[in-house]
Amino acid sequence: MNRLRSASDQRDASTPEGTRLYAVGDVHGRDDLLAGLMADIERDGRAHPEARKILIFLGDYVDRGLQSRQVIERLSGPMPEGFEAVFLKGNHELAMRQFLNDAQFGRTWKYYGGLETLHSYGIAELTLSDDPADFERARLHLAATLPERHRHFLEALSPWAEFGDYFFAHAGVRPGVSLARQIEDDLLWIREGFLDFTASFGKVVVHGHTPQESAVFRPNRIGIDTGAYMTGVLTCLVLDGTSRHLIQTAEQPALRTAAR
């Protein structure tokens, strides 16, 4: 059962003792930004050799940007030395898996980023076509082209994670439902009812899914989707004890912003 506190009290939320968490927002096919951010995270980690260091990726690795294949290749490979990693499922990974099972779902997926993902795997059947036969050809082509390591990565994603006083989900949680009873549909898709909720969720919810120009800090939640595919800014939230700060890598030189 979750330990309930007022939302204002959660400003003092803490990670487990000796644990440094790195939560990474929505990548959306921007491997160029991810490469820079990972280098900055690794550098930060070296400055804290005594800490247990855990990377938590919040989902939406694919679609919209042009380097989805490269992103999955990077994330399905070895992590920096000394780091553990947790990979959460986003609604866009769900969509990619749906397309692999149902070609006609491509009519939906194509127009909210799937076309760019297909291009990253060298699949061009749908570039200029909405013919049902071409959707099936593209599905078969993707199934044949997708490396087994990428397939396993997509199938093994987790819907949520929690460490200390923090709960991590791609989109958020349903107010009024305990964290232990949240359903995947809400964890991957919710906006209405979650974003404007001001009371406690039991833990501070760290999420992506809803892009903003800058990270959003509320007493009960922290949103770190800074719209990397369109803004060029990819955000990592670093949590250690009760401290919080951001590491951000942009198309310009890397910048760091103190959250408090």
Give the Cα separation of 191 and 128 in Å (integer): 33
Residue 146 shares a structural domain with residue 127:
yes
Residue 148 shares a structural domain with residue 223:
no
Domain total in the chain: 2
Distances (CA, A) of 174 to 30, 189, 248: 29, 10, 28
pLDDT digits (tens, 9 = 90+) for 65-124: 999 999 999 999 999 999 999 999 999 999 999 999 999 999 999 999 999 999 999 999
pLDDT digits (tens, 9 = 90+) for 158-178: 999 999 999 999 999 999 999
Residue 55 shares a structural domain with residue 123:
no
pLDDT band at 251 (very low <50, low <70, confident <90, very high): low
pLDDT digits (tens, 9 = 90+) for 10-50: 568 999 999 999 999 999 999 999 999 999 999 999 999 99
Q: What are phi and psi of 31, to 5 degrees?
A: -65, -30
Query: Shortest CA distance to 90 belongs to which of 201, 191, 217, 185?
Result: 185
Asked if the structure places residue 97 within a domain, the reply is no
Domain boundary among 141, 156, 171: 156
